[in-house]
Structure formats: structure tokens, C-alpha cells
Amino acid sequence: DAKTTQPNSMESNEEEPVHLPCNHSTISGTDYIHWYRQLPSQGPEYVIHGLTSNVNNRMASLAIAEDRKSSTLILHRATLRDAAVYYCILRDLDDKIIFGKGTRLHILP
Amino acid sequence: EPEVTQTPSHQVTQMGQEVILRCVPISNHLYFYWYRQILGQKVEFLVSFYNNEISEKSEIFDDQFSVERPDGSNFTLKIRSTKLEDSAMYFCASSEGEGPFRVGAFFGQGTRLTVV
């Protein structure tokens, strides 16, 4: 039931921006794009979500392609604390969140 | 900042015993969830709960599992007769709204269940 495709892992240098891609070519008009992350030994943590327009919050920005078939989570200035597994998830009008394998982000000091 | 609280953080139980995992969701939230994560594997959906009833459940959530919101603040997951394969981290989550007001879900830190 994987509706999104993400790279297995990515690396980034500390204090540099990180762009985490997600493809969701079969997205439907009612699907919201959600991002969560899971830090080591912790529960999943909500990051951001959007429908059509780009979104910003204190944690990150979400850039959504015009056709909505892909999106990018942007961490503006990565810190070591941002090392985690990042999940891109589509949520329809049902209420469950289905996690895939996500992208494991490594931050290099 | 409000948070989802889970107790205990670690539970060890003998195979065949009943366990109850407890969660206190964020107070104004209306939607509640249980997930589990076997070591090294994906986070798996178990059940969602709204308006005092189960709204959806996965294949994992068989007759051995039940959920309850006994007093308007706690949300519990009961496993009637634990099996070795029930060993996992169990995460509770809550969400304020759904549908047009869809927002993120907030997760607790989890209960590590070890069945021996």
C-alpha cells in the first residue's frame, strides 16, 4: 500500500539546508501530504503537512509541485538533532497514518 | 507544550498474560490511535478510535486486542493473552481534527513491551 517513494537514505552537512524528496505520482485530489520524523528511540513526530500550497512552520518548509505528484521537505539549517527517519505520507479522508520505510537522514558534523 | 503521555515506558510480561498499555492523549483531541513498531521494522497501524468506538483497525488488531477510553482522559490498549511476537514498541497518538480540518497526529514516547 506504499503510495509514496522516498530515497532510503541521505546525508547532509550540519548547518546546511536539506531537501528531502518524495514522489507520489498517484496522489488523489483529497490526499493531504504529511511529513513525520522519528528520532532514534523516540516516537514519530509530526513535522508539517499541506494540500496544494507550499507551507512553512517553525520546523520546516514543504514545497509541493504544481501537479502535486511530488513534494520536498526542506530543513533550512540542519543540526545533529535532525538526524532521523523522515516519512512522507499521504492521508485521505480516512483517519489512519500509514508509515513506509522513509528516508534515513544522516547529519555530518 | 501539550504532549501524549504513555505508561509504563517498559513492560515485561510472561507469555499468555494480559497486559494493559496506558495513554493520556492531548486533552482537546478527539481522534486516538495505537501503533506498534517491532525492533528494526516499520511503524505499523493497529487501530483508530473516535467518538467512543473503533473507526478502523488493521489485520494485526485481532480478537486478542481491545481498546478503551474508560474515563474521558485515558486511552488503553489491552492484549488479552500475549505472544512472543507481540514484543514491540507501542505508540499511542492523538489528533485534534480530521476531514477538512485535517491536522497532524501527535505521538507518545512509546511503551516497550517485552514478552518472555
Convert the pLDDT of each residue in B32-50 to its tens digit.
999 999 999 999 999 999 8
Mutate one of B38, B53, B102, B112 to test the A interface: name it (highest A CB count within 10 A).
B102
A23-76 pLDDT tens trace: 999 998 888 899 999 999 899 999 999 999 999 999 999 999 999 999 999 999
Q: Which one is predicted more confidently, B116 or B97?
A: B116
> What's the rounded Cα separation, in Å, for the pair B64 and B68?
14
Per-residue confidence (pLDDT) for residue B100, from 0 to 100: 44
Cβ atoms of residues A29 and A15 within 8 Å: no
B18: helix, strand or coil? coil
Q: How far apart are CA A105 and CA B22, in angstroms?
A: 31
Identify the pLDDT of residue B72.
79
Give the span between the Cα atoms of A55 and A63, in whole angstroms. Answer: 7
Mean pLDDT (whole number) for B76-102? 87
Residues of A in Cβ contact (< 8 Å) with B103:
49
Whether A67 and chain B come into contact, CB under 8 Å, resolves to no
Q: What is the mean pLDDT of chain A?
A: 92
CB contact under 8 A, B104 and A34: yes
pLDDT at B60 over 80: yes
Given this model, what pLDDT does residue A57 score?
92
- pLDDT in the model for residue A93: 66
pLDDT of B103 reads 73
State the amino acid at position A2 in one-letter form: A
Q: What is the pLDDT, as a whole number, of residue A67?
A: 95
pLDDT tops 60 at residue A2: no
Asked if the model's pLDDT at residue B11 lies above 90, the reply is yes
What is the residue-averaged pLDDT of chain B? 92
> Among A43, A93, A97, whose Cβ lies nearest the Cβ of B45?
A97
What pLDDT, on a 0 to 100 scale, did the predictor assign at position A31? 87
Q: If pLDDT is split at 50, 70 and 90, which confidence band does B1 have?
A: confident
Nearest Cα to Cα of residue B9 among B93, B114, B112, B82: B112
User: What span, in angstroms and rounded, lies between the C-alpha atoms of B28 and B25?
Assistant: 8
Q: Tens digit of pLDDT for each residue in B96-107?
A: 866 544 678 899
List the grid coordinates of A52. 496544494
